[in-house]
Amino acid sequence: MTPTQSHVSMTDRERELGAIIAAYNDVTERLKESHDQLRQQVHRLRLELADKNRELARRERLAALGEMAAGLAHEIRNPLGGIQLFAGLLTKDLADRPRERGLAEKISNGVRTLDGIVTDILAFAGEAEPRLAPVHLGRLIPEALDLAAATFEQWGTQVRWASSEAKDEALMMEADPNQLQRALLNLLQNAADAAGTGGCVEVTASADAQERVHVAVADNGPGIPSELLDRIFNPFFTTKDRGTGLGLAIVHRIIEAHGGSVRATNREQGGAMFSVSLPKRRCGDAALQWEIA
């Protein structure tokens, strides 16, 4: 074998060895990438499982609390009706005695306040399964704004509602119109209260390519303390001197029953924003016929 032949043979072997090493390195790198991806997937799934477990525990607590609250509410409402009746009769009998009549009217007002609390408790504890029907958010939101008009006037709050899709089929969905309207009304009243006198509330609605609709209710109030963001949807939790603390809990219950989600955040420009995301159709439900007049 000549030196030239030996040199050529060694070069071929080196090339083969180099190709083997390159292939090994390539496989090793791909295995490493796959391992990293699997580790990230496992981490993500663990976080999702933890979230699901927390949500399941929360639902179980709320179900037990709802059953107890419903029983108490029914027991309270019966005597309240009697008190309201007798207070009304007493008010009529004291027509010629203004001072005593005023005291009787205070009793009636107190009973009405208690009855409102009982109504909220029953709404929270009641049947949450929605009765689906075609709903157009471009129409439902203005209806909720009309119902909230008295609250906005009380606080002197301005409202801005605008959507480029307000009359478009993109905002058509399947929902329980009564439940969804109540949830929107609670969010609007909460925003008006937070914005305060001379404040502003903005309402927006949109749809995405994933067959979901989104509604945001934002205010320019003081915002929500960060340590309370995870608690504001809990029943009976409130930072106000008045109210039952059930308004946002009812919103959460309704949106969840529709297969959606609601979350609260603080805006960079100030104030809070409640974002609702809803599927246009719930999984497994037969499609309803949509018609837009």
DSSP string for 11-67: HHHHHHHHHHHHHHHHHHHHHHHHHHHHHHHHHHHHHHHHHHHHHHHHHHHHHHHHH
Where is 276: in which H helix or E strand?
Answer: strand 272-279
- Tell me the pLDDT tens digit for each residue of 57-114: 766 766 666 667 667 777 777 788 888 888 888 888 888 888 888 888 888 888 887 8
Token pair, residue 16, equals: 């083969």
* Lowest pLDDT segment from 19-28, 160-169, 186-195: 160-169
Q: Is the pLDDT of residue 274 over 70?
A: yes
Mean pLDDT of the chain: 81
pTM over 0.85: no
Using a pLDDT cut of 70, give the percent of the chain over it: 82
How many other CB atoms sit within 10 Å of the CB of residue 12? 9
* Distance separating alpha carbons of residues 241 and 66, to the nearest angstrom: 23
